[in-house]
Amino acid sequence: MSDAPEGPKGVLWDMDGTLLDSEKIWDVVVRELSLHLGGPMTEETRRKTIGSSSAKTLGVIFDSLGLDHDPYALSEAREWMLSRVEERFRGGIPWRPGAREALRAIRASGLKSALVTNTGRRLTDRALDTIGREHFDYSVCGDEVPAGKPHPDPYLRGAELLGLSPSECLAIEDSPTGVASAEAAGCIVLVVPCEVEVPVAPGRVFRDSLEGLSALELSELWVQPTVVRR
């Protein structure tokens, strides 16, 4: 009998801000979009867009500028935004500290893994050119579920594709929006903040980065999921 603690059966990885330092790319583009649509973006508006789906991001920007949610205007703005992000993604996307090594370590442990992101399939496929599709059994995008994060749908779908209950999965997230989604689905959450602070709460385990993350550590935090920082 092994003395190793029981751990999660699956890991559900967020992408932007967790694996890739792509929030900085989004930051430039959404600010440019706001100017394109009529005015500079406030810091409050920017915070509201972090971790959001493209549809919610556009809604937040339109509301901040007092613009009507005209379907044609929203569609045009969406294409403007996605085209610019896609162009920047082509140049390569920087990794978050320790993310590449953590992915390899968890994959080598034999745990099932899925990428669960609010980003649409068009840009996710571009990002996967940097991340590597071999690290995941499946990927779930924000435009492939009824409602994106902070709703539970993305994480419910990720667990379903892995053939697991959400309660058997550990989600790794960086933003309040993503954490809310994972918790609503029933996952334990490892929080690695990036652009915005995530409030401390029961059941959330915090880490300053993904550097040195191992399957053994996931098992240890799994059996005693108290709020800690490592």
What's the pLDDT at 224? 65
What's the pLDDT at 143? 92
C-alpha distances out from residue 211 to 5, 48, 70, 106, 214, Å: 21, 28, 45, 12, 9
- Sequence-separated contacts (24+) of 147-151 with Cβ below 8 Å: 148/52, 148/53, 148/55, 148/56, 148/118, 148/181, 149/51, 149/52, 149/53, 149/118, 149/177, 149/178, 149/180, 149/181, 150/176, 150/177, 150/178, 150/180, 150/181, 150/184, 151/181, 151/184
Query: Does this model's pTM top 0.75?
Result: yes
In the chain, where are the structural domains located? 10-21+93-223, 23-90
> How close are the terminal C-alpha atoms of the chain, in Å?
29
What's the pLDDT at 1? 38
Cβ atoms of 88 and 81 within 8 Å: the answer is no
What's the pLDDT at 164? 97
What's the topology of domain 23-90? Answer: DNA polymerase; domain 1 (1.10.150)
State the CATH class of domain 10-21+93-223: alpha beta
What's the pLDDT at 222? 79
Tens place of pLDDT for every residue, the chain, 230 residues? 345 457 899 999 999 999 999 888 888 999 999 999 999 999 999 888 887 778 889 999 999 999 999 999 999 999 999 999 999 888 889 999 999 999 999 999 999 999 999 999 999 999 998 999 999 999 999 999 999 999 999 999 999 999 999 999 999 999 999 999 999 999 999 999 988 889 988 878 899 999 999 988 888 887 765 544 44
